[in-house]
Amino acid sequence: MTKPPGPDEAAANVTSGILPISAARRGLVDRARKEWIDRLIDPSRNNNLLFFRPLKLATLDLSDVEPEASRALIRGETTPLDRLVAPERETQAVAQAKEIRKRAIANLEDRGLETLYLAYGMASWPVSDEGRPATAPILLVPIELELRGRDGRQVIVRRKGDVQVNLVLLHFLTQTRLSRSTRGPLRRGGCRR
């Protein structure tokens, strides 16, 4: 009885009829992959996942929500919008939610992009170009907004999928750490909820 090939990659490749890949070729492919990933992510101020900018009508600030209501939404419980905003802000919040929902539907239908997320936690840090500091969501919670009642005056917020780490922020931090590792540590920025 013969023994199956061990963990040695070359032995496994030879016995399966596949020629081993040279280290030089593997290095070229890895470099090309890294460059391709770097080109996919826009590090400029146009990227809202790195330089979030609140909009008057298309951003709904839920930073003053009661912690239990926030946790319920994160757990996946269906939550009425009026539980997430103060009573004096409810009328404006409904108008904002309708606009956000309308834009999300347009993005999905026109571009095939899911853009309706709740940002949970924001990271900020100073930038070297003297512009406004970078502000990026840390966690992204996919949600859906359901309009109920006459004229859609009641808005229901529901988590639509798994909570995700902002991969653009993660990529940026990885690249920043790697590019600055020879120049010293990053300066400490801020993090707020």
Residue-wise pLDDT for 100-122, tens only, equals 999 999 999 999 999 999 999 99
* Residue 174: pLDDT band with limits 50, 70, 90: confident
Q: Residue 136 domain-assigned?
A: yes
pLDDT band at 139, cuts 50/70/90?
very high
Instruction: Determine what percent of the chain is predicted with pLDDT higher than 90.
Output: 48
- Average pLDDT for 51-67: 88
Mean pLDDT over 1-16 rounds to: 54
Number of domains in the chain: 1
pLDDT of 70 over the 60 cut? yes
Q: Is the pLDDT of residue 33 over 80?
A: yes
183 in a domain, yes or no? no
In a domain, 126, yes or no: yes
Asked whether the predicted pLDDT for residue 134 surpasses 70, the reply is yes
6 has pLDDT over 70? no
Q: Is 146 contained in some domain?
A: yes
Asked if the structure places residue 9 within a domain, the reply is no
pTM of the model: 0.71
Of 171, 165, 149, 139, the residue nearest 34 (C-alpha): 171
User: Which is higher by pLDDT, 64 or 25?
Assistant: 25
For the stretch 46-51, contacts whose Cβ atoms lie closer than 8 Å and that sit 24 or more positions apart, written own/partner, are 47/168, 49/136, 49/137, 49/166, 49/168, 49/169, 50/134, 50/136, 50/168, 50/169, 50/172, 51/132, 51/134, 51/135, 51/136
For residue 41, being part of any structural domain is answered with no
Q: Give domain status of residue 170, yes or no.
A: yes
Q: Percentage of the chain surpassing pLDDT 70?
A: 82
Binned at pLDDT 50, 70 and 90, residue 44 comes out as confident
Q: pLDDT at position 9, please? A: 55
pLDDT at 190 over 70: no
DSSP string computed for 63-79: TTS-HHHHHHHHHT--E
The reply to whether 11 falls in a domain is no
Computed over every residue of the chain, the mean pLDDT equals 83
Q: Where are the alpha helices (DSSP H) in 112-187?
A: 167-180
Q: Which domain holds residue 138?
A: 67-176
